[in-house]
Amino acid sequence: MAEELNGLPMRKRYGIIMICCVSFFYIEILRRNWPTAMMHLANGIRLMSNLPDAVQDVFRHPEIFSHDRDNSHARATYMTKLLRRWEGSAAFMRINSPPSLSLQAYETRKNSVGGVREFTSLEKLQEHVDDLFQDVNAFGWMCRQYRGDDSSWDHAAARFQFDILHQRCYHIRELLKKANKLYGDMEDAANPRDFLKFMGCLLRHRGASIALDSTPLPQGMAYTPPDEEEDKFLEVASIAETINQALRASLASGAPGSSPWFNVDFGVVTTLYIAASNCYTVSMSEKLFEMMINWPWREDLWDGTELRRQLYDLRKPIVEVPTATTPDSETPVPTTPHLIKLAHRPPSRVAVTTPSSDED
């Protein structure tokens, strides 16, 4: 096969290789062979992040080729979005591998402070939420990899990027409020699918916000939410339950195309895992983990009961550690975000942002 590929044009050769990576990923997932599946996914992402010049423009700027007779630009756009989506959704399965595609995309957006202010369509809203989710994933990776040996990535630089991402979270939250008037009620929505797409956007946005707030900066957490901010975790649980009920209602209606298997990735399992892993209240964390394990549908081919149980078993000892215990010389120092947050509580956001009374 390698000899046959060598005789093809560069663009076609890479297209075939990428299709093979995706196909092999699906095959190994169906075989429940997680390590091999992740290897194929990692290979596809690695190839996408190191493209030759002859191929790079097709993937980086597919709109340039929109006038071409062939549809390579559409295939390239779909492939890129698919791999980025998988990279973000399955990030917790590859914690030791860099999110290469997300890191590249984040580099092009990291200084975009303004964000989008006007709601145009549900599809565009999905793109904005996906971009935010991927950028938070990339930013979190950069912060976790910081070892104090890079002068260009200090606490001030990280805090600046943190604030930019918070601004984007705010702007997208405002867009979601506008979209809520059109799609926020299943009874009033023109199409039940639109309602579910909107709820998926809402859930992923909340997951990105929680992940961002839980990201450890080079000098520690930007802030630790006070206990009364448990509402945001309750909101995640509520949105997930709404999606669950809406899917069941669609199935009960028996309408054509009402199956939950239509092409919408809600990100429920991923978001519940993010929320449960970063929740600082043990009871709430357990509730979110339970919802994740018992979610009645597979989110994607990488998802499944066995994987969810492994994730829960991995995290369960962490959330059950007594928060009042102080590590001594013979006790390992906690290194997970959950325990770090409990052991070291910096000022809340209010304390950080509220000016003192004696300022002009």
Say how many Å lie between the first and final Cα of the chain, rounded.
72
Q: Write the pLDDT tens digit of every residue in 281-328.
A: 888 999 999 999 888 877 765 666 777 777 777 665 544 444 444 444
Whether residue 264 contacts residue 193, with contact meaning beta carbons closer than 8 Å, is answered with yes
Residue 165 is predicted with a pLDDT of: 93
**354 belongs to a structural domain:** no
**Does 53 lie in the same domain as 21?**
yes
**Does 187 lie in the same domain as 58?**
no
Q: Write the pLDDT tens digit of every residue in 317-334.
A: 544 444 444 444 444 333
- Give the whole-number percent of the chain exceeding pLDDT 70: 60
pLDDT above 80 (res 207)? yes
Most confidently predicted of 231-240, 247-256, 306-315: 231-240
Give me the DSSP letters along 109-143: HTT--S---S---HHHHHHHHHHHHHHHHHHHHHH
- Give the whole-number percent of the chain exceeding pLDDT 90: 16
Nearest alpha carbon to residue 35 among 96, 99, 80, 78: 96
**Does 234 lie in the same domain as 277?**
yes
Residue 60 is predicted with a pLDDT of: 63
**Does 295 lie in the same domain as 330?**
yes
CA angle 26, 27, 28 (to 5 degrees): 95
**Does 70 lie in the same domain as 98?**
no
Range of the domain at 49: 1-83
**Does 240 lie in the same domain as 101?**
yes
293 or 51: whose pLDDT is higher? 293
Which of the listed residues 83, 111, 137 is the one where a domain comes to its end?
Answer: 83
**Does 205 lie in the same domain as 127?**
yes
Flag whether the pTM goes above 0.85. no
**228 belongs to a structural domain:** yes
**Does 121 lie in the same domain as 265?**
yes
Q: Write the pLDDT tens digit of every residue in 340-353.
A: 444 333 443 444 44
Residue 279 corresponds to which tokens in the numbers above?
A: 């929740």
**Does 335 lie in the same domain as 238?**
yes
Identity of the residue numbered 347: P
SS3 15: helix
Q: C-alpha dihedral over 65, 56, 302, 236, to 10 degrees?
A: -80
What domain count does the chain have?
2
Spatial separation of the C-alpha atoms in residues 208 and 229, rounded to whole Å: 16
165 or 119: whose pLDDT is higher? 165
**Does 96 lie in the same domain as 24?**
no
Spatial separation of the C-alpha atoms in residues 115 and 233, rounded to whole Å: 25
Give the number of other CB atoms < 10 A from CB of residue 45: 22
Spatial separation of the C-alpha atoms in residues 329 and 64, rounded to whole Å: 60
**260 belongs to a structural domain:** yes
Give the number of other CB atoms < 10 A from CB of residue 121: 9
Sign of the four-CA dihedral 268, 271, 273, 279:
negative
**355 belongs to a structural domain:** no
**254 belongs to a structural domain:** yes
**267 belongs to a structural domain:** yes
Which of the listed residues 49, 83, 117 is the one where a domain comes to its end?
Answer: 83
Q: 220: which strand partners?
A: 217
CA angle 151, 152, 158 (to 5 degrees): 110
SS3 253: helix
Which of the listed residues 55, 83, 111 is the one where a domain comes to its end?
Answer: 83
**Does 189 lie in the same domain as 63?**
no
Residue 277 corresponds to which tokens in the numbers above?
A: 């892993």
Measured CA to CA in angstroms, residue 65 lies from 11, 19, 76, 120, 147 at distances of 12, 20, 10, 24, 42
Residues near 341 by beta carbon (within 8 Å), at least 6 away in sequence: 214, 221, 224, 278, 280
Spacing of C-alpha 95 from chain mean position: 13
**Does 171 lie in the same domain as 51?**
no
**26 belongs to a structural domain:** yes
**342 belongs to a structural domain:** yes
Spatial separation of the C-alpha atoms in residues 37 and 25, rounded to whole Å: 5
